[in-house]
Amino acid sequence: MTDTPVGHPRTHTRPTGGTPRTGTAPRAATARKTGSDLHLELAAGGRRAALMAALREAIRSGRLTPGTRLPPYRSLAADLGIARNTAADAYAELVAEGWLTARQGSGTTVAERAEPVTPARTRRPSPPPRPAHDLRQGQPDAASFPRADWLAAGRRALTAAPNEAFGPGDPQGRRELRAVLADYLARARGVRTDPDRIVVCSGFAHALRLLFDGAGAVLPGRVDGPLAVEAYGLSFHRALLTAAGVATVPLSLDENGARVGELTNRQDVRTALLTPAHQFPTGGPLHAARRAAVVDWARGRGGLVLEDDYDGEFRYDRQPVGAVQGLDPERVVYLGTVSKSLTPALRLGWMVLPEHLVDRVLAAKGEREAWASALDQLTLAEFIDSGGYDRHVRRMRRRYRDRRDQLVVALAARAPHIEVSGIAAGLHAVLRLAPGTERSVLKAAAYRGLAVDGLADYRHPLADPDTTPAADGLVVGYATPPDHAYPAALAALCDILPPPV
């Protein structure tokens, strides 16, 4: 039987379902929209009437939009288990009614004049307008993502990948990635580990959830009390811990980092979360004596140090500060990601664990990897192993150092009275303001379309005002703006800074 439908007495246009003939250009709308795989549910009763009703409903509801090409009637009949003539007659009837159009060699399509019913939509608040200048912290330079090198690494990784890599994911992470991470972290960050003690996760927040959140979490029973955190840090992380039922107590800060000696006065604390390489957001590394002291405290207390190494690759004024984990791998959980070095869009991070915690973390993750893509893991492994990651980090280190220098020069020229701190590393700086001025400066920034963070937002609500006095300031991220927009962003920043007191 040919693919030409049985004629219908009310139309001379015969629907077809074949592909366009060579040399026949399909319409632009149908070239982009096909309906070869079509879901239809036929009601009880006559097959032709049921098929016509199902097609009308699909068009009315908007599931089949004008210009969509339908499958050949023979294919549709086979899919639905109905006679070919039944499907052909239904198509011809809908052409006659104006729901469909048919041209020899171009197939059967939904008519352009068939207007779908717009489904009701829940009204949602409009997204906030994009700022004219974005100096918020936390984002790397999106334009500098190494797209070509990443794509090349992905091709090589997929070509070499074993077949089992395309099956269910291992919750510990791909062995290829864990092996290169063990080498890289030892070389670049002074971490002491092996692949079997690394667990891949989707980022720092995911790691916290595995450790603390839910019935299967690793540490709540072991913490047996509040978690010590730094007096300044991300409120998002504190909120995550609070939601998991974990109370946090702040450690005071000074120019040498967290005052870890305060831990000895808290008998109920057995775990501390720190940013030793570059205190977030105030800047500065944890002093060497305090690094040793916090490890000694963890040994004596039978506790743990959670080390958040969020931007350890980016240090400008001296050699990188190594990881605290290297002092005692059995008392420190090292946490890292590619969120700052590459992009947060990858959703890849890692936990370097004491040996006795590996199985507990894997039990918390479950039998299969639910978050971190195995293909992204393989690509990252190849990117690191080929040297592409090192080259990218070195290039971005130079780029961010230049951005930092531009910020410092602009402030020296237009606001020399403003103290700048935290500039030895990372992707942001802290501008100290006169007491009582932060709120008004932020209002002025919003008026100018300048997005920037206030320092007060990062302060722990229980921070001791005697040991860590509240300070007014701005947390200025210098990685986000594109090159052409950065000078204007710096000018807008200088415009809203208050004059000398």
**Would you say 499 and 453 are in contact if contact means Cβ atoms under 8 Å apart?**
no
- Using a 10 angstrom Cβ sphere, with 0-12 exposed, 13-18 middle and 19 or more buried, the burial of residue 21 is exposed
Domain boundary among 106, 122, 138: 122
Domain-located, residue 140: no
| Domain co-membership, 404 together with 451 | yes
Q: Coil, strand, or helix at residue 450?
A: strand
Q: For the chain, how long is the longest CA-to-CA vector? A: 94
| Domain co-membership, 448 together with 354 | no
Phi, psi of 322 (to 5 degrees): -70, 170
Which amino acid, residue 321? Answer: V
| Domain co-membership, 304 together with 427 | no
Which pLDDT belongs to residue 112?
84
Domain-located, residue 316: yes
Domain-located, residue 177: yes
Domain boundary among 369, 389, 409: 389
Which amino acid, residue 55? Answer: L
Which CATH number does the domain housing residue 399 bear? Answer: 3.90.1150.10
Which CATH number does the domain housing residue 214 bear? Answer: 3.40.640.10
| Domain co-membership, 464 together with 322 | no
**Which domain, by its residues, includes 66?**
1-122
**Would you say 271 and 304 are in contact if contact means Cβ atoms under 8 Å apart?**
yes
| Domain co-membership, 167 together with 310 | yes
Q: Cα-atom radius of gyration of the chain, to the nearest Å?
A: 30
Round to whole Å and give the CA distance between 294 and 258.
10
The DSSP bridge partners found for residue 253 are: 258
| Domain co-membership, 242 together with 348 | yes
Q: What angle do CA 144, 349, 378 make, to 5 degrees?
A: 75
Chain centroid to CA 122: 26
Chain centroid to CA 353: 23
Domain-located, residue 131: no
> Residue 69 has which token pair?
């090409």
**Would you say 247 and 469 are in contact if contact means Cβ atoms under 8 Å apart?**
no
| Domain co-membership, 358 together with 404 | no
Write the pLDDT tens digit of every residue in 273-291.
Answer: 999 999 999 999 999 999 9
Which pLDDT belongs to residue 485?
94
> Residue 268 has which token pair?
């109920």
> Residue 143 has which token pair?
């334009």
Domain-located, residue 154: yes
Which pLDDT belongs to residue 133?
95
Contacts of 127 (CB under 8 A, 6+ apart): none
Domain boundary among 341, 372, 389: 389
Round to whole Å and give the CA distance between 18 and 386.
48
| Domain co-membership, 272 together with 379 | yes
Round to whole Å and give the CA distance between 121 and 166.
38
Give first-to-last CA distance, the chain, whole Å. 92
Which pLDDT belongs to residue 303?
93
Q: What is the pLDDT along the chain (501 residues), one digit of tens a residue?
A: 434 343 333 333 344 444 333 333 333 333 445 556 788 888 888 889 999 999 999 888 888 889 889 998 898 888 888 999 999 999 999 998 889 998 877 789 999 865 555 556 667 777 778 899 999 998 899 999 999 999 999 999 999 999 999 999 999 999 999 999 999 999 999 999 999 999 999 999 999 999 998 656 788 544 568 999 999 999 999 999 999 889 999 999 999 999 999 999 999 999 999 999 999 999 999 999 999 999 999 999 999 999 999 999 999 987 668 999 999 999 999 999 999 999 999 999 999 999 999 999 999 998 888 889 999 999 999 999 999 999 999 999 999 999 999 999 999 999 999 999 999 999 999 999 999 999 999 999 999 999 999 999 999 999 999 999 999 999 999 999 999 999 999 999 999 999 997
Domain-located, residue 127: no
| Domain co-membership, 477 together with 490 | yes
| Domain co-membership, 364 together with 482 | no
Which CATH number does the domain housing residue 113 bear? Answer: 1.10.10.10
Phi, psi of 359 (to 5 degrees): -65, -35
Q: Coil, strand, or helix at residue 300?
A: helix
Which amino acid, residue 149? Answer: D
Q: How many CA atoms lie within 13 A of 467 on its CB side?
A: 17
Round to whole Å and give the CA distance between 79 and 57.
19
Which pLDDT belongs to residue 117?
56
Which pLDDT belongs to residue 116?
54
Domain-located, residue 464: yes
| Domain co-membership, 319 together with 200 | yes
The DSSP bridge partners found for residue 430 are: 421, 475
Give the count of domains, the chain.
3
Domain-located, residue 488: yes
> Residue 400 has which token pair?
């961010």
Contacts of 145 (CB under 8 A, 6+ apart): 342, 343
The DSSP bridge partners found for residue 198 are: 352
Phi, psi of 105 (to 5 degrees): 90, -10
* Cβ neighbours of 5 (radius 10 Å): 24
| Domain co-membership, 342 together with 401 | no
Q: Coil, strand, or helix at residue 457?
A: helix
Round to whole Å and give the CA distance between 63 and 68.
10
**Would you say 432 and 395 are in contact if contact means Cβ atoms under 8 Å apart?**
no
Q: Coil, strand, or helix at residue 199?
A: strand
Contacts of 442 (CB under 8 A, 6+ apart): 452, 454, 474
